[in-house]
């Protein structure tokens, strides 16, 4: 069975508090793009066998897709095995939720394959144990995500916009980005309601004005090259330019696909990975 695992971008990322156990309380507007990994899941006699086309991605219990299969087997007492083959297209450690999307694909695929009849809510509950972005990846599309990622509210689709993803050659660890962030120093939170209204109206100027990622300053300070990527996107017709998740991917949303294609040529330097996709 083939399940597509779609990448996401953040139209916003706000940190609104911290729980006593140390988890950050978030408010994020998330959007799927067409870029996806292919996850092929098959039933086997026993155990979990994972394969991946990218040699630098671990294929043992460190892989979040492996963890998803193990967790579901333990939770549901599945005695058969699975083979999981991942064709990775989503850049790794990029802020695009590549791993989380693979994990969500495994949970959804195994739910069908083993006829588990789990509801979306149940799948999200299991998914949350694997990571904060997994519940969103199970729902997908355009969503407001709150709490520690477990409250996912679908929004009016913001589909069909051209998106240019620019991922520099280095990765950023999600843990490090949040670790360097100081909650006390926030002087302005995201106006999520106004952002959602602008998205609903298809008002890209408004989306640009209200879209914000609170981790961006921390990561941009550490990697000044990201500032020049933002400037280049802005100079080349991007209507909305922002860092996704904990970075380092910077994206531009374009109202005109030919502008996005031209910008792709300009940004294609310094070993940047440049991917033209669209919101779905």
- Give the catalytic positions in this structure: 8, 133
Q: Which is nearer to ligand ATP, 88 or 230 (CB)?
A: 88
Q: Total number of residues binding ligand ATP (CB under 6 A)? A: 21
In the chain, DSSP finds a helix count (H) and a strand count (E) of 10, 11
CA 109/CA 69 separation, integer angstroms: 10
Pick the binder of ligand ATP from 15, 36, 41, 99 (CB under 6 A): 99
Q: Are 22 and 56 in contact (CB under 8 A)?
A: no
Please name which of 244, 173, 174 lies closest in space to residue 211, comparing C-alpha atoms.
244
Torsional class of 197: left (φ above 0), alpha (ψ -120 to 50), beta (otherwise): alpha
Of 97-105, 119-127, 145-153, 189-197, the window that binds ligand ATP (rule: CB under 6 A) is 97-105
Q: By rule CB under 6 A, what string of x and - marks binding of each residue 212-251 to ligand ATP?
A: ---------------------------------xx-----
63/236 with CB nearer ligand ATP: 63
Task: Write down the least CB distance from residue 110 to ligand ATP, Å.
Answer: 15
Task: Write out the binding residues for ligand ATP, residues 182-211 only, by CB under 6 A.
Answer: none
b/e for 80-110, b at 16 or more Cβ within 10 A?
eebebbbebbbbebbbbbbbbbbbbbbbbbb
Contacting residue, 162, 174, 192, 236, with ligand ATP by CB under 6 A: 174
User: What are the residues binding ligand ATP (CB under 6 A)?
Assistant: 57-58, 62-65, 86, 92-100, 102, 133, 174, 245-246
């Amino acid at each position: 069975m083939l399940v597509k695992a779609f990448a996401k971008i953040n139209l916003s990322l706000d940190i609104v508090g911290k729980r006593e156990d140390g988890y950050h309380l978030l408010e994020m507007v998330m959007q799927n793009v067409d870029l996806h990994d292919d996850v092929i899941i098959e039933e086997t006699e026993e155990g979990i066998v994972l394969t991946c086309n990218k040699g630098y991605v671990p294929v043992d219990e460190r892989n979040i897709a492996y963890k998803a299969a193990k967790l579901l087997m333990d939770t549901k007492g599945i005695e058969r095995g699975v083979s999981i083959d991942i064709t990775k297209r989503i850049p790794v450690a990029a802020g695009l939720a590549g791993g989380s999307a693979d994990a969500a694909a495994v949970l959804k695929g195994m739910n069908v394959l083993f006829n588990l009849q789990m509801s979306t809510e149940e799948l999200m509950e299991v998914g949350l144990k694997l990571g904060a972005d997994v519940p969103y990846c199970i729902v997908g599309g355009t969503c407001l995500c709150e709490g520690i990622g477990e409250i996912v509210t679908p929004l009016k689709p913001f589909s069909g916009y051209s998106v240019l993803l620019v991922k520099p050659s280095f990765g950023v660890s999600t843990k490090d980005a949040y670790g360097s962030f100081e909650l006390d120093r926030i002087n302005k939170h995201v106006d999520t309601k106004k952002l959602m209204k602008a998205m609903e109206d298809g008002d890209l100027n408004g989306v640009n004005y209200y879209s914000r990622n609170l981790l961006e300053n921390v990561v941009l300070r550490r990697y000044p090259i990201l500032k020049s990527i933002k400037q280049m996107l802005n100079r080349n017709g991007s209507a909305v330019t922002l860092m996704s998740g904990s970075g380092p991917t910077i994206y531009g949303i374009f109202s005109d696909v030919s502008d996005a294609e031209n910008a792709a040529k300009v940004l294609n330097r310094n070993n940047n990975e440049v991917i033209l996709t669209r919101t779905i």
